[in-house]
Amino acid sequence: MARNCRFAVAVHITALLATMEGQPCTSEWIAGSVNTNPVVVRRLLSALAKAGLVRSTRGSAGGSVLARPADRISLLDIHRAVDEDEEPALHNQPPNPACPVGRNIQSVLVRVMERADAARDAVLSTTLLSEVVGALKVEG
């Protein structure tokens, strides 16, 4: 799954689990809501479980539930669970160091991206999963 989709799908998954109020949900059922393959859902559930956001049990009565209440899960928690290895998007090939732009563009872009990431993290850290679920009820 593309890096930029993991977060959106992970929020979808956790919001869905929040609306189920502790009833275990299978990856197949979740995949039907997300409209994706259950393998994609299982990979994201695994990352969310590793971060302590989701608990999963196997077997015929198994499934996944939130590991803590939605008002104790920030969107930053979810983002870090599924996109923790994300690095700034820079050139595929090193720019020409003989060019005045090529010589400096990478370091300039890194600083800009660090500021953008900090701003994103500030918003995500103050937005709770419960707020997303509440907004879904208003929109729906």
82 domain-assigned? yes
18 domain-assigned? yes
CATH number at residue 22: 1.10.10.10
120 domain-assigned? no
Domain residues for 135? 3-87+129-139
CA–CA separation, 13 and 105 (whole Å): 38
108 domain-assigned? no
Taking the CA atoms of residue 27, residue 31, residue 37 and residue 38 in that order, the dihedral angle to the nearest 10 degrees is 0
**Cα–Cα nearest to 25, from 61, 64, 59, 57:** 64
70 domain-assigned? yes
Considering its fold, how many domains does the chain have in total?
A: 1
The pTM is what?
0.85
pLDDT digits (tens, 9 = 90+) for 57-114: 988 888 999 999 999 999 999 999 998 666 666 777 888 999 999 999 989 999 998 9
